[in-house]
Every structure is written in C-alpha cells, then in structure tokens.
Homo-oligomer: A and B are copies of this chain.
Amino acid sequence: MVDIATRVYNHKWKIDPIVRSLIDTDFYKLLMCQSIFRNRPHTRVTFSLINRSTHVPLAELVDEGELREQLDHIRSLSLSPGESTWLRGNMFYGKRQMFRPDFMEWFENLRLPPYHLERRGDQYHLSFEGSWAEVTLWEIPALAVLMELRSRAVLNRMDRFELQVLYARAMTKLWEKVERLRGIEGLNLADFGTRRRHSFLWQDWCVQALREGLGAAFVGTSNCKIAKDREMEAIGTNAHELPMIYAALADSDAELARAPYDVLSDWHEEHDGNLRVILPDTYGTKEFLDKAPDWLASWTGIRVDSGDPVKGAELAIEWWKSRGEDPRKKLVIFSDGLEVDNIIALHRRFAHRVRPSFGWGTLLTNDFRSLVPGDALAPFSLVCKAVSADGRPTVKLSDNPEKAMGPRDEIARYKRVFGIGEQERIPVTV
C-alpha cells in the first residue's frame, strides 16, 4: 500500500532544504540576539565566511546554483507559531520568559537580510551586511548549509547501498565513543555541533544517541530546533562576537581595553545563574582575568575555547582563588576541539577541582573521518565571523595565534592595548 499523497508531497519539492527553521540554530545566538536587540539596536555589521581548510575547494564541490537556492530558502523562513510559543513559554536554565515580549514580537516578523555570494578561485566569498541583530542569525545556518552541501556533493556519488553502509559505520563509530564515555562518574556533556554538522538528520541522530547512551550525563543540545522537537534542554551562553564588536566600536584605547568587560556588564544585568559564563580568550585569557573587575569572579563559570585547555582551566582556578572564590563551585566548560580522549583526560584532571562540562562539537556531529575514499567526508574548519562593525574592522586574538583574525596593524594595536606577549601556536583542524 503506497501512500500516494506522501509520495507526491515528497516529490514536489524543488530542493531538499537543509535549514528548515529559524530556530535550527544555536541557543546562544538567540540569547545574544536579544542582548544585541536591547543594547546595540543600531549597530551595522558585516559577517564573512572563512574556510580555514583551504585544501577543501568548496566552490568546486558545491554548485553555486544549489548554494543560492539553499540560502534563498533560509531567507524565506520565518518563526512559526509553534516555535514562537516554545521560545515564549519554555523554561531555559530554570527560568521562564527568558525571551521578552518586545524581542519576540520583533523576531516573529524577522526575515534574514540579503547575502552576497561570489566565487573566487575554488572558494566562495559569502558575506552578510546589515543590522547586527539580524546578521548575527545568518552565522549558523550559513555554516550548516555549506557543510551539508559539501556532504551531499560526496554522498551524491554513492549508491543506496553504500549509503546504508556508510551510516551504519558512522553510527557504530559514534556508539563506540558513547560506550567509552558512559559510566564516567559525574560527566556533563552537551552537543555543540550544529555549525559543523554532517547534516541535520545526522545531528539529530547523534543527539538521540547521546541521550540514550549517556542518560543524565548528557545535559542537552545547543540546537533549539532539536531541543524543542526532542524535548531536551537548550544549552549555550555567549560568544566572541560580543566582545569583538564592542571592541571594534570603541573610540579610544581606553574604551577598547574596557570593551570586553562592558559586554559582560550588559550580560550581568540580563542573566544570572548558569548563563553567567565568562568567555575570556577573545583578547588573551590571562590578561583578561588579571584585569577583570571583582564582580566577574562571582560569575558561575568560564568557557575554555582556545589554546591549551589545561592551561586555560588552571589559569581560571588560580584566578578564582586569588579573588577569594572556591573553584570547586565553578563551572568550567571546555568547547574547543573535543574528542573522547581529551574529554576523558580533562574530566579526570578537573573533576574534583571544578565542575567540568563539555560542549562537544565537530567530532560529535561530523566524525566521518576515514569512512570514504580520499577522506572526502572528513570535517573541515569553516567559520562565519563578524569582520566589521559600523565600518571598523573587528579583531580576535584568542589564546592561539592560529585562530587570530583582523587587519595586521589592528592586531598589533590590540596586542599592545591588552598587553599580549608571545602565544603558543596550536594547529587548528576542526
């Protein structure tokens, strides 16, 4: 018995949309969007796609017409009534009405702004310009579209059976990770893998695998759509774009030096509890912590997102102690380049000294390494970053100079203002 209606329905799509909802994005983008909407409603920004893995010739793999169709489809999306109800009515981090009525009303009427797409050599130049609160919402869907179109380009050459075996292998691979992680006393782990996922359906499967295999040790997903559909916690706090744009807008060196703290001061007024998590590495973790105001030491935790994670966490522990805080009550969220080995090692090292937590990204939702010839499905390092604000370039230093971005003279100026010396270089793979 064939369901003719379903078949016709499935066949009438011109494209198979990758991003089908405005909340198929990371939770922290919505938190930051609301903060921007309130505090910087008039700031205009440019976000740009940057493929750090130049050996992956995106423009050769991905058809420009298909890319445009996917991006155009995202521009056609608006918040559905059910999505709006979920955002308005759901409890996030133990708190209801996290998203306020004026923000929700604006969000319900939002369409994403235009994009600029150009092929240069074997890469695409993709950028977004406009109001910060709008443009910021392009980051995750743009990355997800490019990652999945690249997956599809490889998958299109495989037949039905090879595909089945491919996914059987990927499932087996993930489940072996789950089995290594299960039973680790006190583990706290979340999915942070939306932006570099192999595909939406695969991320959704991975999240279910973690819930099934890890039980309470799996604390939730950063993806709002999956959190909503699967009735899980949506996880996330804030990201580098806040201090980067606040810094770019600074009119003097003194203002620049203050910018990263101004960001957290605004955040302090808006959020409490587990949402008060410091992201200290934008302009050097050590320098940031040394000069931080005392009220920041009372925050719930810190996120370690670049550099040697052991050093980052040790720095935070020393800093809390120096400010009279008990590190054992503090959250330390590791979110950079995680895989089972370093999750286990970091957990072992810090479990009794702080409250460690893990935001597992690319190697959770896109570990197709060595599953196809030529490793054509291996994940790669694609980012979409704020590159300018109100006409001024942004700068990121990070704890790893391989992750630094911005014009060379501006990087020099930021290093001087923030007092950054030599930094250890660590290769960036994913």
Number of copies: 2
Q: Tell me which residues across on chain B come within 8 A of A208, comparing CB atoms.
A: 161
Q: Do B175 and A165 touch across chains, with their CB atoms under 8 A apart?
A: yes
CA of A162 to CA of B1, assembled, Å: 29
Interface residues on A, range: 20 to 34
Cβ of A172 within 8 Å of any chain B Cβ, yes or no, is: yes
Q: How far is the CB of A347 from chain B (nearest CB, A)?
A: 23
CA of A3 to CA of B6, assembled, Å: 8
> Using a CB-CB cutoff of 8 Å, which residues 156-188 of chain A contact chain B?
159, 161-162, 164-165, 167-169, 171-172, 175
A212 in complex: contacting residue of B1, B5, B6, B159, CB < 8 Å: B159
A169 in complex: contacting residue of B5, B161, B175, CB < 8 Å: B175
Q: How far is the CB of A398 from chain B (nearest CB, A)?
A: 37
Q: Tell me which residues across on chain B come within 8 A of A161, comparing CB atoms.
A: 208-209, 212-213
Q: Tell me which residues across on chain B come within 8 A of A159, comparing CB atoms.
A: 212
Whether A9 contacts B5 in the complex (CB less than 8 A), given A161-B208, A161-B212, A208-B161, comes out as: no
CA of A6 to CA of B1, assembled, Å: 6
Q: Tell me which residues across on chain B come within 8 A of A172, comparing CB atoms.
A: 165, 168-169, 172
CA of A1 to CA of B212, assembled, Å: 27
Q: How far is the CB of A175 from chain B (nearest CB, A)?
A: 5
Q: How far is the CB of A284 from chain B (nearest CB, A)?
A: 43
Q: Tell me which residues across on chain B come within 8 A of A164, comparing CB atoms.
A: 171
Q: How far is the CB of A8 from chain B (nearest CB, A)?
A: 10
CA of A269 to CA of B161, assembled, Å: 42
> Using a CB-CB cutoff of 8 Å, which residues 86-120 of chain A contact chain B?
none
Q: How far is the CB of A2 from chain B (nearest CB, A)?
A: 8
CA of A6 to CA of B164, assembled, Å: 25
Q: Tell me which residues across on chain B come within 8 A of A167, comparing CB atoms.
A: 168
CA of A208 to CA of B162, assembled, Å: 11
CA of A34 to CA of B1, assembled, Å: 35
CA of A8 to CA of B9, assembled, Å: 22
Q: Tell me which residues across on chain B come within 8 A of A171, comparing CB atoms.
A: 164-165, 168
Closest to A211 in B: B161
CA of A23 to CA of B212, assembled, Å: 40
Closest to A169 in B: B172
Closest to A179 in B: B165
Q: Do A1 and B3 touch across chains, with their CB atoms under 8 A apart?
A: yes
CA of A171 to CA of B173, assembled, Å: 12
CA of A260 to CA of B175, assembled, Å: 53
Q: Tell me which residues across on chain B come within 8 A of A213, comparing CB atoms.
A: 161
Q: Tell me which residues across on chain B come within 8 A of A6, comparing CB atoms.
A: 1, 3
A175 in complex: contacting residue of B9, B168, B175, CB < 8 Å: B168
> Using a CB-CB cutoff of 8 Å, which residues 334-372 of chain A contact chain B?
none
Most chain B CB atoms below 10 A, which of A6, A159, A164, A209: A164
The digit string for A1-23, where 1 denotes a CB below 8 A from any CB of B, is 10101100100000000000000
Q: List 20 contacting pairs A-B, 8 Å CB cutoff, sorted by A.
A: A1-B3, A1-B5, A1-B6, A1-B9, A3-B3, A3-B6, A161-B208, A161-B209, A161-B213, A162-B212, A164-B171, A165-B171, A165-B175, A168-B168, A168-B169, A168-B171, A168-B172, A168-B175, A169-B172, A172-B172
12 additional contacts (CB under 8 A) given A161-B209, A165-B209 = A1-B3, A1-B5, A1-B9, A159-B212, A165-B171, A165-B172, A168-B168, A168-B171, A168-B172, A168-B175, A169-B175, A172-B172
